[in-house]
Copies of this chain bind each other. A is one copy, B any other.
Amino acid sequence: MLTSGDSGIADDDEAPSLDQGMLLGLMGRELRVTYLAVFRRVEDQLEKVGITPQQFALLVVVERNPGARQTLLAKARGLDKSTLVPMIDRLERDGLLERRPLANDRRVRAIWITERGKQILDAAIPVVRESDDLVRGSLTESERAQLLKLMEKIRIGIEDSAASARGNDAAA
Contacts and interface: CB of A to CB of B under 8 A. Distances in A.
Interface of A: 1-3, 7-9, 11, 15-23, 26-28, 30-35, 37-39, 41-42, 57, 60-61, 63-65, 68, 72-73, 75-78, 125, 128, 131-132, 134-139, 143-144, 146-148, 150-159, 161-162
**Could you say how many copies of this chain the assembly holds?**
2
- Do most interface residues of chain A lie in helix, strand or loop, or is the interface mixed? helix
A72 B15 contact: yes
Which of A18, A137, A139 has the most B CB atoms < 10 Å from its CB? A18
Given A42-B28, A75-B15, A154 B131 contact: no
B132 A157 contact: no
Nearest to A71: B15
A29 to B, nearest CB: 8
A60 to B, nearest CB: 5
A54 to B, nearest CB: 11
Contact of A161 (B134, B139, B159): B134
25 contacts: A1-B156, A16-B72, A17-B76, A18-B73, A18-B75, A20-B60, A20-B61, A22-B125, A23-B61, A26-B128, A30-B148, A30-B151, A31-B34, A31-B35, A31-B39, A32-B39, A41-B161, A134-B157, A135-B157, A138-B153, A138-B154, A138-B156, A138-B157, A138-B158, A143-B150
